[in-house]
Amino acid sequence: MLMRAAVLTEFKAAMEVMEVEIADPGPGEVRVKIAASGVCGSDIKALDGKSPVVRRTPFVLGHESAGVVESTGAGVTAVAPGDHVIIGMNGPCGRCRNCGAGRFHLCGGAARMAAIMGTMGDGTTRVTVAGTPARTMIGIGSFAEYAVVGEAMCVKIDKTAPMDLMCLLACAVVTGVGAVLNVADVRPGSSVLVVGCGGVGLNVIQGAVLAGATTILAADVAESKLRLAERFGATHALTPRDLAAQVGEIVPGGADYAFDVTGVAGVLGTAFAATRPGGTTVMVGSPPAGSSLTVEASLLFASRRLMGTQGGDAAPLRDLPMLAGQYLRGRLDLAGLVSERVPLDHINKAIEHARQGTVARSVITFD
């Protein structure tokens, strides 16, 4: 079947919106009619040729998405045509060593590993561009009217939930909130420092609020992002300069938890230095491949913990329904994350806005 998609045909160039072919879903696969897809920093890295999982063209980007099940392949039982779904960033196999230990975000199953590299479990693709197989971002490719994904990646949601907001749960929200709840395990009454207040950073702040943190310090170079951070629950707005000193004036001894959401290699050590002895620092943003991180050894010796996370260490079938429920109960602000909604034809403009840092999140919507 034919559909329209934004295709990466050349690195460091604009995507081309064109007509491509998408196959029917195979066994254990689901074809989803995309309703909305957020523009993520990972997509921009891929456009710039800096993603370790996007190595060739043509390629269909986009992974933060929600839509309606259009058709299913043989053996699919979890969803049916007409169901509203969020497409999770991974589909754990449930059988490997990590899944058996509850570390679903580290699933080593063949289908998940194939999806990371942009194919289905059998190593083939379901999208063809002018006769050439096209890979898709982590096995999704939601900058398109349809996506074929593995059944395990589809998380059914209430049909009353707005999909132009639900799509954000798939990446920005689950990454930020998951870093707080799943990784750092922030405790009620604690102090939290968030460095970098873009789309994911704002959700770290929302996660800290959900966890019951009472002092939430937000740091960013952009004044506009600091104002947004305060809207989402930050109690203090800081500049990155002399960060440890600023934090120490508000929380003597340093913050209980710090989250580096910048993806800038040199920032992590600064965030780490702003935590108290025994505190925890989590690297949420992803620095460029090959980057080195530097921390002062004596700080680590003082029982401070330094951790990393991938997508908030999320298990989609566990975390996405929980987050949808938090939104429906008024405990998550998703509308405030959306700076603009644009059609597929204007996707390159949305990419540029995200690159400039003038938006919290751009959402591509489909009629």
DSSP state string for 53-81: T--SSSEE---EEEEEEEEE-TT--S--T
pLDDT grade for 290, boundaries at 50, 70 and 90: confident
User: Tokens 């440890």 sit at which residue?
Assistant: 244
Mean pLDDT of 340-348: 97
DSSP assigned state of 144: B
Output the pLDDT for position 367.
77
- Tell me the chain's radius of gyration from C-alpha atoms: 20
Output the pLDDT for position 292.
85
Q: What are the pLDDT digits (tens) for 155-188?
A: 999 999 999 999 999 999 999 999 999 999 999 9
Q: In sequence order, what E strands does the chain have?
A: 2-8, 16-22, 29-38, 59-60, 64-72, 84-87, 127-129, 132-136, 146-150, 154-156, 191-195, 215-219, 236-238, 255-260, 275-283, 305-308, 340-343, 362-365
Q: What is the mean pLDDT of the chain?
A: 95
Q: For residue 1, give both structure tokens.
A: 């079947």
- Give the torsion through C-alpha atoms of 180, 173, 119, 59, to 10 deg: -130
Output the pLDDT for position 297.
86
- Give the torsion through C-alpha atoms of 61, 67, 70, 74, to 10 deg: 70
Output the pLDDT for position 265.
84
Q: What's phi and psi for 47, nearest 5 deg?
A: -60, -35
Q: Is the pLDDT of residue 301 over 90?
A: no
Cβ density class 168-198: b for 16+ within 10 Å, e for less = bbbbbbbbbbbbbbbbbebeeebbbbbbbbb
Q: For residue 167, give both structure tokens.
A: 């799509």
Output the pLDDT for position 294.
84
Mean pLDDT of 106-131: 94
Q: For residue 99, give both structure tokens.
A: 């899944």
Q: Is the pLDDT of residue 289 over 80?
A: no
Mean pLDDT of 278-284: 97
Predicted TM-score (pTM) of this structure: 0.95
Mean pLDDT of 56-80: 97
Mean pLDDT of 182-199: 97
Q: CA 309 to CA 301: how far, in whole Å?
A: 22
Cα angle 173, 174, 177; round to 5: 80
Q: How many CA atoms lie within 13 A of 245 on its CB side?
A: 4
Supply the DSSP string of 249-301, one letter for each residue.
HHSTT-EEEEEE-S--TTHHHHHHHTEEEEEEEEE-S-PPTT------HHHHH
Q: What are the pLDDT digits (tens) for 307-323?
A: 999 999 999 999 999 99
The full set of domains in the chain, from first to last, is: 2-170+334-365 (3.90.180.10), 176-310 (3.40.50.720)
Q: For residue 350, give both structure tokens.
A: 């949305």
